[in-house]
Amino acid sequence: MANPNMSAVYATDEYGRPFIIVREQQKKNRRSGIDAIKSHILAAKTVANIIKTSLGPRGLDKILISPDGDITVTNDGATILTQMEVEHQIAKLLVQLSKSQDDEIGDGTTGVVVLAGALLEQCENLLDRGIHPIRISDGFERACKVAVEHLETISDVVEFAKENTENLFKTAMTSLGSKIVSKHHEQFAKIAVDAVLSVADLERKDVDFELIKVDGKVGGSLIDTILVQGVIVDKDMSHPQMPREVRDAKIAILTCPFEPPKPKTKHKLDITSVEEYKKLQNYEREKFEEMIKRVKDTGANLVICQWGFDDEANHLLMQNNLPAVRWVGGPEIELIAIATNGRIVPRFEDLRPEKLGAAGLVREISFGTTKDRMLVIEECSNSRAVTVFIRGSNKMIVDEAKRATHDALCVVRNLVRDNRVVYGGGAAEISCSLAVSKAADQISSIEQHAIRAFAYALDAIPMALAENSGLSPIETLADIKSRQVTENNSRLGIDCTMTGSNDMKEQFVYDPLISKRQQYLLATQLVKMILKIDDVIIAGASEQ
């Protein structure tokens, strides 16, 4: 039987022999209207189902293999979606959704995609019942407004200060509970809280993430992770005979190289005799000595340079007891300047004593039996700049610990910005689902079906948490839901850790309000957008 999507064209070659070209006519039969919307929903649901198993403290990890063979092991939603090779246009929108949540909030990237997938699943059922996509969109928007308003009514304010960080600490621990560092999550939570409070301006409710550097080195174990009140640079002293430690350092921070000046035009230098060569050598040496003298005259006893310098300059620096570090990257240079209250100097002529940075101790640290060394700048005059230095047994663990630390830092930052929290473990979703269902009962228009569907979609989060924890999802959800209604307690959620208590306040499972609110808003916006797409037209593709 002939395929209706195929067409045949008769042609002849250069010798006049006939042959047939069979070509698919898929372009003519492309889907549009409701069929297109359903195919888009299917693509998005497929992506959401992939990462649903990564949700919660008992969520499973994914192993991602890049085209080069590099391996990443993670359960971070944004990382999984970013590294997946997603071809479908609608599936790419889900990738962007998780990235939006990551950029704006930093945590909750898996939850927002699971919620979007659940909403789209409900859309499919509504479309099958003949409800128009625009009416579904309107209903979802009304339901989202009800859910967000209800979140604010069930939220609690957590009090904290620089002396009392217990609530911040517990919220950071909740974020880290589902990560690879969960075995040491108390240590990592304390590091995240201390790092954020070191750089936070509590009066303005502002946290400058530029002052927090997260660095890592393979070797040791996660328990060796430390918070350094200063900067760590992956460089060592430029000469092996230079001192490994400098106390009361006065640091010259240079972005100019230790080399003789060159004309800015194209130049050519012909050396035809030994005398001319020696003359050039003496000239270079004089220039190096002049540069070193300028540095020494300011009182500097350590040079940090963005560029390199040759062996002769390096030897002269060592002879003049002037330790130096070369090839330090631009971001590190800026961080060192902030931490030490120094100024970045672009020319030797601009060096002044007041432009030097100050640090109590600059030292090299080495690692085990390797030759790797790093430079630690501590006791800086501006102690607000900090570095989280992560250790791990392999690169995958170090990278995943970095991502986990970033999430914990973001959660603490969000609480500094807005100290209201809702309770995790699906408690907030179940409470909002009940509130949205109640609102649907008071609406007589066709949108009530979409509003009720939104309530069912919210139930997908606690169901996924229960399923990932090895519990019976439907039975557990029904039990918690009935208890929330009878006990009038919005703090009841899924007991993922099997401690015997469903009260998330007792378990200290907190979620920042702004994170949860953003999840609802972003997921609803994306679903509304997908519902309004009834055709995909590829630019430049010719119709056959």
Kindly report, residue by residue over 413-470, the tens digit of the pLDDT.
Answer: 888 888 888 888 889 999 999 999 998 888 888 889 999 999 999 999 999 999 988 8
Q: Which helix (H) or strand (E) holds 402?
A: helix 395-417
Render pLDDT for 199-252 as a digit per residue (tens, 0 to 9): 888 888 888 888 888 998 888 888 989 998 888 888 888 888 888 888 988 999
Residue 377 sits in the same domain as residue 482: no
Same domain flag for 300 and 364: yes
Q: Can you tell me the distance from the alpha carbon of 302 to that of 289, in angstroms, rounded to the nearest whole number?
A: 16
- Asked if residue 240 and residue 368 are part of one domain, the reply reads yes
Dump pLDDT digits (tens) for 22-39: 554 444 444 557 878 888
CATH code of the domain containing 353: 3.50.7.10
- The CATH number covering residue 466 comes to 1.10.560.10
Has residue 6 got a pLDDT over 60? no
For residues 454 and 46, the answer to whether their CB atoms sit within 8 Å is no
pTM above 0.75, yes or no: yes
What distance in Å separates the CA atoms of residue 234 and residue 284, rounded to the nearest whole number? 30
Residues 250 and 371 reside in one and the same domain:
yes
pLDDT exceeds cutoff 70 at 297: yes
Q: Is residue 73 part of a domain?
A: yes
Domain assignment present for residue 117? The answer is yes
Domain contains 22: no
Cβ atoms of 231 and 385 closer than 8 Å: yes
Distance from C-alpha of 380 to C-alpha of 230, rounded to nearest angstrom:
6
Residue scoring higher pLDDT (345 or 40): 345
DSSP at 222: G
Output the average pLDDT for the chain.
84
Residue at 527 is within a domain: yes
Q: Are residues 209 and 100 in the same domain?
A: no
CB 121 within 8 A of CB 42: no
Q: Could you list the residue range(s) of the whole structural domain that residue 479 is in?
A: 34-157+427-531
Task: List the CATH number of the domain containing 192.
Answer: 3.30.260.10
pLDDT above 70 for 17? no
Q: Same structural domain for residues 350 and 257?
A: yes
pLDDT bin (cut points 50, 70, 90) of residue 20 is low
Residue 522 pLDDT class (50, 70, 90 cuts) = very high
Q: Are residues 465 and 501 in the same domain?
A: yes
Q: Total domain count for the chain?
A: 3
Residue 11 lies in a domain: no
Same domain? 135 vs 183: no
Q: Closest Cα partner for 248 from 301, 322, 325, 326?
A: 301
User: Other CB atoms closer than 10 Å to residue 215's CB: what's the count?
Assistant: 17
Q: 116 and 127: one domain?
A: yes
Provide the 3-class DSSP secondary structure of residue 77.
Answer: helix
Residues 448 and 524 in one domain: yes
Contacts of 261 (CB under 8 A, 6+ apart): 287
Please report the pLDDT score of residue 150 as a whole number: 93
pLDDT at 143: 93
Q: Known catalytic residues?
A: 76, 109-110, 407
pLDDT at 15: 64
Are 438 and 463 in a shared domain?
yes
- Do residue 304 and residue 176 come from a single domain? no
Does 7 have pLDDT greater than 70? no
- Within a domain: 177: yes
Give residue-wise pLDDT tens across range 131-185: 888 999 999 999 999 999 999 999 888 887 777 788 888 888 888 877 777 788 8
Query: Does 17 fall in a domain?
Result: no
Q: Is residue 19 part of a domain?
A: no
**Which pLDDT belongs to residue 62?**
87
What percent of the chain stands above pLDDT 70? 91
pLDDT tens-digit map of 243-276: 888 898 899 999 888 777 666 666 677 778 888 8
φ, ψ of residue 392 in degrees (nearest 5): -165, 160
User: 387 in helix, strand or coil?
Assistant: strand
